[in-house]
Amino acid sequence: MLVLPSISFAIAWAGTAAMRRYALGSGLMDVPNERSSHSIPTPRGGGLAIVIAVCISTCGVWLMDSVHTSILAIVLIGGGFVALVGYLDDRHELPARLRFAVHLAAAVLAVALIDGGILGLGHGLGPTRVSVGFLAAIGVVWMLNLYNFMDGIDGIAAAQSAFMAGAGAVLNVAGGGPDGLTMVLVITATASCGFLIPNWPPATIFMGDVGSGFLGFLFGALALVCDAQTPVSVWSWIILGSLFIGDATATLLHRMARHERWYVAHRTHAYQWLARRFGRHLPVTRLYIGTNVIVVFPVAYLSVQKPAIAPAIAVLCLLAVGGASLLVGAGRPESALGD
């Protein structure tokens, strides 16, 4: 049981080191600008090691006949195309329309491949089913992009990934879900930990769009898979990701309400405000890890034990995180940085 997680960790750790050497030699650097949360040029694209580790290890799970081919296709095809467009965007800034088209296509593929009901609506292709499927695909696209938005300080995205995948695996076991799906989550967690070592503050390499997009897509898609095939619903996954979802959504809505160009890069998420106030990234990353372990995981576990109230719990979590994010400053204009 420990072989594949160990392989995933080793590939991610060694691959990140190799990617760092490549980035330094090829000029694949994240150069600081007025919207950056770092001050020195840093190699990026290290998330490619996570992609490779998860894809290879998932093939191993599939070869052991532990997961359905549809899940392998979601990871390799859907996740692979998202990672590819992310890598190309890291190297050459791609048009937003092209990125969105690939993201949407990958999300639609994931929804189409899922065997079972989404949000408990069962099988079939009636109007309601199609509508929910479309909303599910949009949800995956939003998760993909918000994960990219939240990858702005050292260690935070990799730590969130390790938490969500690890906690999701525990919830799947507690709910009696399939072992193969648990293993896919575990190898995602260990791959994230392998990358987190050099990405821990102060980071020596950044994840880049190749990693953040892949992980965001993976969590969105696997949440739907769990909802369809296990007792762990989408609502429980929303709770697990609530620190990222709440912050990103509150920031977006605030910027839209102020008629800003919400699609333009910025540094006004709550976690970015906190990093500036602390003057360092490490306290914020630790704060997110601690909150996830002490607060978020027990609440998510409760949602699995009490599925009837899981939607209400998820909504309350998002409102709480969103409200706290706005109090911290999420979406405030960058001109207020000196306030």
Q: Which of 256, 291, 257, 253 has the alpha carbon at shortest distance from 271?
A: 291
Alpha helices for the chain (secondary structure H): 3-26, 47-63, 69-73, 79-91, 96-113, 127-149, 156-174, 179-199, 208-229, 234-240, 242-257, 270-278, 282-291, 297-305, 310-328
Q: Which residue has the tokens 């102020």?
A: 258
Confidence at residue 34, expressed as pLDDT on a 0 to 100 scale: 59
Range of the domain at 47: 3-338
Count of other CB atoms within 10 angstroms of residue 332: 18
Whether the pTM exceeds 0.75: the reply is yes
Share of the chain above pLDDT 70, in %: 91
**pLDDT tens, residue by residue, 214-264:** 999 999 999 999 988 888 999 999 999 999 999 999 999 999 998 887 777
Count of other CB atoms within 10 angstroms of residue 57: 27
Based on the number of CB atoms within 10 Å of its own CB, is 209 exposed (0-12), middle (13-18) or buried (19 or more)?
buried
Structure confidence at residue 129 as a pLDDT band (50, 70, 90)? low
Structure confidence at residue 36 as a pLDDT band (50, 70, 90)? low
CA 163 to each of CA 61, 95, 141, 211, 292: distance values in angstroms, whole numbers, following the listed order: 21, 32, 21, 16, 7
Total structural domains in the chain? 1
Q: Under a CB-based contact definition with an 8 Å cutoff, are residues 20 and 205 in contact?
A: yes
Q: Under a CB-based contact definition with an 8 Å cutoff, are residues 158 and 195 in contact?
A: yes
Q: Share the mean pLDDT of the chain.
A: 90
Angle at 306 between CA 304 and CA 312, to 5 degrees: 95
Q: Under a CB-based contact definition with an 8 Å cutoff, are residues 222 and 234 in contact?
A: no
Taking the C-alpha atoms of residue 53 and residue 194, their distance in angstroms, rounded to an integer, is 9
Enter the tokens of residue 328: 């911290």
**pLDDT tens, residue by residue, 164-181:** 999 999 999 998 889 999
Would the pLDDT of 1 be above 60?
A: yes
Greater confidence, 325 or 68? 325
**pLDDT tens, residue by residue, 194-208:** 999 999 999 999 999
Is the peptide bond between 333 and the residue preceding it cis, with omega within 30 degrees of 0?
no
Sign of CA dihedral 8, 9, 12, 13: negative
Residue 30, strand partner residues: 42
Would the pLDDT of 121 be above 50?
A: no
What single-letter amino acid sits at 288? Y
Taking the C-alpha atoms of residue 49 and residue 13, their distance in angstroms, rounded to an integer, is 8
